[in-house]
Amino acid sequence: MRYNSRMKEKIARAADKTGKILILTALAAAFVFTGWRIATRKAYIAHEKAQCCAMAASAALCAADAVAHDAAVASLVKESNSVEYISEHRKMPESINVKVIINSEENSFLIKSIVSSGWNSRSPQSSSFSLKLYETENIIFESGADAEAAALVAAARSDISPGKKQMEHIFTFPNERPCPAPFAAKSASVSCFGEKDIWIVFFDEKND
């Protein structure tokens, strides 16, 4: 009986010691994780902002290409005066939310994209980008900074090699409403807006 009692005491002490070690390990891991998040917060926010800015610029350019090269899209916008497109965020890289609004004007189209970080972002950011597309396919930007951002996106787009991993997307009406003229797009990661690679979206004219 004494032997069993001593064994039970040893087991209890060992279990207690193990429990304390596990608690201390969990606390240490939590402190390290919290410290890491604090230390990387500034860089993370900068990356999120760059990602949203690049996606907004590229989405507006993507929609402009769709209007310029897809007659069905151009006709739909002219008939409706204003059309709102979205890309399925669950298929977008990092679950980014992308919305594009295309308004028909006399001899031109006013295009605005609105982008926000995905649901899994720990520092949600947002960005918008506007441009005017004329029927001559000339594009006017709101500012010099917007023109520079568009040039960066265009340069990055031209550098995407055929072997580069690309994701396919369809821009359609929100709320799963039937869309008579959706347009296809692709996305790929590029290095043009920051130290880390970011994603841009571009019109898939051949839809291949």
Question: Residue 29: its pLDDT value, please?
Answer: 46
Interior angle at CA 112, CA 184 and CA 91, nearest 5: 40
Q: Which two tokens stand for residue 54?
A: 């690049």
Kindly state the average pLDDT of the residues 55-69. Answer: 96
pLDDT tens per residue across span 131-165:
999 988 899 998 999 999 999 999 988 888 877 77
pLDDT-derived band at 36 (thresholds 50, 70, 90) equals very low
- What average pLDDT does the chain have? 83
Task: Please name the helix (run of DSSP H) or strand (run of DSSP E) that holds residue 99, with its range, or none.
Answer: strand 97-105
Task: Please name the helix (run of DSSP H) or strand (run of DSSP E) that holds residue 29, with its range, or none.
Answer: helix 2-69
Number of other residues whose CB lies within 10 A of the CB of residue 11 = 10
With CA atoms as reference, report the closest residue to 87 among 76, 77, 97, 102. Answer: 97
The amino acid at residue 169 is H
Contact by Cβ (8 Å): 67, 111: yes
Q: Which two tokens stand for residue 172?
A: 């359609």
Torsional sign, CA 146, 151, 157, 160: negative
